[in-house]
Structure 1
């Protein structure tokens, strides 16, 4: 086993044999996929379904050729998906979902997303082992994530042993398993600045495409009438868009490539419109917190720029709040979000706040009843105070809005501390990477990944956030943070900072 960890330099014949073996494997994969397509055609599936399977087959083939393509595809295809904007979208849905264009059978309960994650993991490990270069980088974040995963597995077993519903238990916990897997894949397969840059472009384009889909939904379905609309997409879309805007601000602040800065600026109106139309107060407030932390970082790194931006931003925000404090239209959504937090919510927001308060009472009751083990997955939480009827959400008796305390309620205090340990180490290590990465693109990526994870788990305190899309995104960003020290050892590209904003020349420091 130890010899797998020692780098070897094979001769020409060995390389030729490996290349021949790769091509035979690829040929067999193509044959299998061709057979699958023939079966689909014989079942007289729609052209859209056949096209979806062809695209998915292309993803699997590309991953077999280069495993990191699987990471790109998993992240991009996951971020574009949304059950409300396009319910037909198949990647994040089981192959047993009738509304999916990749529906196969009622008994096939795996999704293309899960198949892609497993396939990428297997291809990577098999190729690395056969080429005798298996060197797995766990980093400081994988083991806390693995410990948290173990406690979730224990919570699953405990819940089923105590009469929990098997189907609901698996739905509750399955997406949490994506987090350490994506952390491991991204932390090992994203190895260079170019890989990292491609990964962030994939996420950016996917979020832009979702923003365009949101604009089209408002135009085509709502006819530009947002009156009385609670949301246009899944709740998680708003928190995902935080990544886009943090990346945009960081790219201008640290002078990333002109292509990224100007292209994202052109994309921003579409994403911003969909963010506003989705009406998520927590999304706005967490984005504001992220931007506030960036301003605080400016105070540490560049006080001249801080004293230009901070007063201007504060005066602009104050003026906006004064002008739009009572505005009920889309342009006043941020003012309403601030107003609801300080104690003057609208009727709808007040009802939402009351529901969460009652739900928190029930959460704390269940925690006091089973503080050590939790109630386990698949079991309903006990309600000492009745909740308003939201039975339109079929699992409202199992899953709560407060996703942080929900963990304690489900898997007990030790598992809850495992989550806190994972979050604390991620924030500490992420902040360290922000300070150590060289000025320019790597610092942009470090700051964006760290702040996205921060905003996600702040958001998790008030809304459901353990769904599959968010876990893939969070796991990938944790993997990015894990991989940054190795990536930074490459020869850095020359970066010329904006000296008009800098009192001292900026040096390139590597981790």
Structure 2
């Protein structure tokens, strides 16, 4: 950027533009006249920073501020992190009132930081060191994703006559995902960044857990309000990720320091999960623990746990039977399982809303099982649903079950293209875990697996594919799984030897002058 600005004609042109804009604002809108100067100074500062620092800052903001598109606190309270959440996740035209800005700040950050990295590479600027590349299969899967999105857009809009306005929001977050992975890949040097990512996630979890508890205990209950959730539905993925960070760090490296940290962090996150009251969080956490248990080696702790499980197994059917009739107290976990299986209204002789919606979406898929309908189409309402258009006008374009939605709109062909990258990421995470020797590396693979499970559950249960938070976390997990596979040799790569010297420590590649 310094080389770019050092060119006198370019510098003078930009300076002239800045002066003209500032003078125009002085005449028309004096209150905001300093803004161009402030933004220019901020942009100059940003362009001097390493992409790694900028990416970690963007990731920290994304997992900490309010997820405004999902209406945190059911719209009854605006936390101190609400306005930053609006800037980051909502279209700037709606936030700033300036027409033509039909994109969120998050999009600008991702594209801008990638463009900055490419500019430095093209011009030989060595601010950012080289980083290990991702395995080829993962790269192919991430390229297939936007290609599939583009095909479903053409097929749905131009061939089947769908609604182009709504179609964009059916695939926007999925289309941004490969760009997020690309940014994480060029920004994160390797395993030395894992601790920074873990700390950011834990701070984000604790912040949202405390804000959610404050809202329920200090605002909602004193006023007699009842709320279905505290922060947002997608925070379930964040909470599971935070739990995985501290639990698997201790399991892979059982030191007293890790144990103490695990206890207080888990206490705060479970408090947040309790007040957020999302069954999906508990289900995803249990599934992630089961996956980690099956993947982990036969340590003394695992052998003891297996002995306890075998001893208690004969009593489990009785525990389940009693808890099914009285799902309270110590039988609370049975109540969660029962509510997931039966739904909320089956006991009253009525079908649950989600069950009716799933049947409608399955019927839509059956009408076009191979190719689907493409983007821009509604699912068929064979069984009438309660009309919620007053709260969500486009609800028939966005079924809660995103997995069935991808099958309905994309068919088997489209669904395969949209989720190939996820299958490859899971495969790489498992292989990397088997090959890793460092405790931090192994814990990273288990955390990535927990994110994959939580994201898949969120997609199956609650519009996960259009969640900004889920997309950010799954992009981070896919990048970490790919890098671990490269560095551990789980996916053979000649390039990896440059990043793993003979002492086994990763860092700047051997021979790299940066």
Inter-CA distance 351–381: structure 2 relative to 1 (3 Å threshold):
farther
Deviation at 1:375, TM superposition (A): 2.0
Higher share in helix: 2
Query: How is 1:96-495 mapped onto 2 (pairs within 5 angstroms)?
Result: 96-98=93-95, 103-131=96-124, 137-139=133-135, 140-161=137-158, 162-223=160-221, 228-255=226-253, 262-263=260-261, 265-298=263-296, 300-302=297-299, 304-310=300-306, 326=326, 334-343=333-342, 346-347=344-345, 354-391=352-389, 392-466=391-465, 467-487=467-487, 489=500, 491-492=503-504
C-alpha contact (below 8 Å) 1:340/1:349 kept by paired residues: no
* 1:221 aligned counterpart, secondary structure: helix
Alpha-carbon distance in structure 1 between the residues aligned to 2:124 and 2:154: 37
Deviations 1:301-356 (A, max 9, x none): 31x21133345579699799768974669x9864421222454x554997997222
SS for the counterpart of 1:96 is helix
Deviation at 1:240, TM superposition (A): 1.8
Q: Does the CA contact (< 8 Å) of 2:345 and 2:351 recur in 1?
A: no
List gaps (5 residues or longer) in structure 2: 489-499, 507-514
Instruction: Answer whether contact 2:152 2:374 (CA < 8 A) is retained.
Output: yes
Deviation of 1:475 (Å): 1.1
What is the DSSP-based 3-state SS (H/G/I as helix, E as strand, rest coil) of the residue aligned with 1:460?
helix
Kept in 1: contact 2:88–2:106 (CA 8 A) = yes
- The 1:336–1:31 alpha-carbon spacing in structure 2 relative to 1, beyond 3 Å, is farther
Q: Please state whether the residue corresponding to 1:137 is helix, strand or coil.
A: coil
How far the C-alpha of 1:420 sits from its partner, in A, is 4.2
Alpha-carbon displacement from aligned partner over 1:193-248 (angstroms, at most 9, x marks no partner): 32232222222222222222212222332137898421122211112211011111
Query: Structure 1 pair 269/354, CA: closer, same or farther in 2 (3 Å)?
Result: same
Indicate conservation of the 8 Å contact 1:64/1:123, yes or no.
no
Distance of 1:149 and 1:245 partners within structure 2 = 32
Aligned length: 464
* Structure 1 counterpart of 2:67: 82
Distance 1:270 1:400, change over 3 A: same
Q: SS in structure 2 opposite 1:385?
A: coil
Aligned mates of 1:277, 1:112 — CA distance in 2:
29
Structure 2 contact 177–471 (Cα < 8 Å) conserved:
yes
Q: 2:208, 2:350 → 1: CA distance?
A: 26
Q: Cα gap change, 1:394/1:258 in structure 2, threshold over 3 Å: closer, same or farther?
A: farther
Report if the CA contact (8 A) 2:213-2:230 is conserved: no
1:68 counterpart residue number = 52
TM-score of the pair, normalised by structure 2: 0.78
Distance in 1 separating the partners of 2:351 and 2:45: 48
Once the two structures are overlaid, the 10-residue window that deviates more, 219-228 or 471-480, is 219-228
Give the direction of change, closer, same or farther, for the CA distance of 1:417–1:44 in structure 2 (3 Å limit): same
SS in 2 for 1:97: helix
CA distance in 2, matches of 1:97, 1:113: 14
Distance 1:243 1:326, change over 3 A: same
Query: How far does the alpha carbon of each residue in 1:386-439 deviate from its partner, in whole angstroms, 9 at most, with x for none?
Result: 112333223211011111121122223212122343222221111001111123
Task: Tell me how large the CA RMSD over aligned residues is.
Answer: 4.1
1:93 & 1:429 partners in 2: Cα distance? 34
Residues 226 and 250 of structure 1: CA distance in aligned 2, closer, same or farther (over 3 Å):
farther
Distance 1:135 1:465 in 2: 30
Q: Deviations over 1:433-460 (max 9, x none)?
A: 1111123111111110122112211332
Q: Is the 8 A contact 1:178 1:472 kept in 2?
A: no
Q: Distance in 2 between matches of 1:123 and 1:160?
A: 34
SS of the equivalent of 1:393 reads coil
5+ residue gaps, structure 1, are 1-18, 495-511
CA distance in 2 between counterparts of 1:269 and 1:95 reads 37
The verdict on how the C-alpha distance between 1:365 and 1:457 changes in structure 2, with shifts beyond 3 A counting, is same
Q: 1:157 to 1:135 in 2, by over 3 A?
A: farther
Give me the whole-angstrom Cα distance separating, in 2, the residues matched to 1:422 and 1:278: 30
Could you tell me how far 1:374 is from its partner in structure 2?
2.2
